[in-house]
Amino acid sequence: MKKYYITTPIYYPSGKFHIGTAYTTVLADTLKRYKQLRGYDVFMLTGLDEHGQKVQAVAEKQGKTPQEHVDEMAQMAQDLWALMDIKYDHFMRTTAKWHEETVQKIFEYFLEKGDIYKGSYEGLYCMPCETYFTETQLVDGKCPDCGREVKLLKEEAYFFNMKKYADKLLKYYEEHPDFIQPENRKTEMINNFIKPGLEDLCVTRTSFDWGIKVKSDPKHVIYVWLDALTNYLTALGYMQPDDSLFKKYWPADIQIVGKDIARFHLIYWPIFLMALDLPLPKKILVHNWVMMKDGKMSKSFGNIVYPEKLINRYGLDATKYYLLRMSLISQDGIYSPEDFVERYNSDLCNDLGNLVNRTISMVNKYFSGIVPEYNGMKNEVDKEFEEFTNNKLKRVEQLIENFDISNGLQELWTIISRTNKYIDETRPWELSKNGETEKLKSSIYHLIENIRKIGIMLIPFMTDTAKNLLRQIGVPENLQTWESLEKYDGLKNIKVIEKGEPLFMRKDIEEELEYLKN
């Protein structure tokens, strides 16, 4: 079986996750479900990034030890992923003993090789990002990543010799055009960071101690990014007595990250891997952010939307649909309560839910619930309808394969709309009234067949809804496969449910906007 390794970033334990942070993991989970449906053996990794000054400060503020704090946060994260039915295979925590040991070993290895050297650092430091910047990297004198004030700091420190690898990295980018997606992220890295001259990276800190200590010089704590990035390897048992998962799954097939951490994943991470003589991931997918109309989601603006708020009222699938439908690969997506309710009512209740319900009731009314056999004769409308559907199915598949989930869903919805239109075109109620039985059979058969295909394609995105839909039209579990999109002859004489169960209940807009107000 072909293997597939997907990673999400490991999250900072700084508080509850909002819908923006949840996006990366929902996307990874969707890809996992899709790949599994295509027959892959998939390993999906997520977890928590538990060290660093920021974590220590948050714990202190709450009167807890850092360990108590990260334990609570790890539980919080896993509870949320359980609620969201995220099928990760391992939840990595960077306080895991074996991770700490491996990071120490890697550090010593880099020291021995001369990739890490000791020096002293004076620079402009952004506390929240735990990153030093040069004067030229600042934007309006502030941190280029988060926009906050930076402070001048001096400390004895170890450095990673990034300069040594700069040309090798550029060459790698050139020779592997699929490595970074989307393309503009690569250009950004080259023009903003690599071409102006890659600075060596300070990889230790002495100003706090919540981190992994340098084995040979324990007053230094290893920089949180060197620690955190390594989790993608340690999770698989890299450098451990049992490294079978590592042997099986590395290199990762896709690593998904948000735009704010692109630089760490597109520059430092590949360089660390080169220094370890390890193959690089096949692809790093960088997505944009979920924004609010008034800008970033943040505690200080009081505009945070938590996934629980949406899931508890609209269900998991509606929440996932909304997040995935937002176009986040090449641009930021704007969340608004109006847009959420509108999509819920129009896309899910009207387009999808009504289609399924109307069709099921017609199968019951005209054929006592048994999908009719049809003689294969197609008129122009049927031919056009089949062709449209098959072309669009291919398009959806291409888009998913290219990780463009938002457009994939958009195209899938054109099939749903087209299927609704087919009802109006064929007017089964008139065919029944006029006794045109063969045409009526053809219409109902085509409708059920399209709903079946829609159901199969929905499995990776909205698994429960898809399974519910397929159950209602009588498609057995063992025939719910991607291959069945191409070839399926199981429809003959299957029985649909007697009374269709609504997939989504229509909502009153005003009431929902009241509920969704922060």
| Binding stretches for ligand ME8 (CB under 6 A) | 9-12, 20-21, 23-24, 49, 228-229, 257-258, 260-261, 289-290, 297
Q: Cβ of residue 317: shortest distance to ligand ME8, in angstroms?
A: 20
Q: Using CA atoms in the order 342, 347, 349, 355, what is the torsion angle rounded to 10 degrees?
A: 150
Q: What 3-state class would DSSP assign to 285?
A: strand
Q: How many helices and strands, by DSSP H and E, does the chain display?
A: 21, 14
Residue 234 or 426: the one with the smaller Cβ distance to ligand ME8 is: 234
Q: Which is nearer to ligand ME8, 21 or 204 (CB)?
A: 21
Nearest CB to ligand ME8, comparing residues 291 and 462: 291
Cα 517 from chain centroid?
A: 26
Q: Which is nearer to ligand ME8, 9 or 372 (CB)?
A: 9
* Min CB(128)–ligand ME8 separation in Å: 10
- Closest separation between CB of residue 398 and ligand ME8, Å? 25
Closest contact distance (angstroms) between CB of 93 and ligand ME8 is 12
Length of the chain: 518
* Nearer to ligand ME8 among residue 11 and residue 322 (C-beta): 11
For the CB of residue 260, give the shortest distance to ligand ME8 in the complex, in Å. Answer: 5
With beta carbons less than 8 A apart as the criterion, state whether 234 and 103 touch.
yes
When the beta carbons of 289 and 374 are compared against ligand ME8, the nearer one is 289
| In the complex, minimum distance from the CB of residue 478 to ligand ME8, in angstroms, rounded to a whole number | 37
CB of 151 to ligand ME8, least distance (A): 21
Distance separating alpha carbons of residues 412 and 395, to the nearest angstrom: 9
Task: Report the residue closest to ligand ME8, judged by CB.
Answer: 258
CB atoms within 10 A of CB 286: 26
The answer to whether 163 and 198 are in contact (CB under 8 A) is yes
Report phi then psi at 442, rounded to 5.
-60, -45
Residue among 229 and 496 whose Cβ is closer to ligand ME8: 229
Is residue 157 within 8 A of residue 206, CB to CB? The reply is yes
Residue number with CB closer to ligand ME8 (9 or 237): 9
Distance CA 407, CA 405 (A): 6
Rg (CA), the chain: 26
Considering the complex, what minimum distance in angstroms separates the CB of residue 210 from ligand ME8?
Answer: 14
Helix, strand and coil in the chain, % to nearest 5? 55, 15, 35
116-126 and 151-160: which strand pairing? Answer: antiparallel
Closest CA to 305 of 345, 330, 340, 346: 340
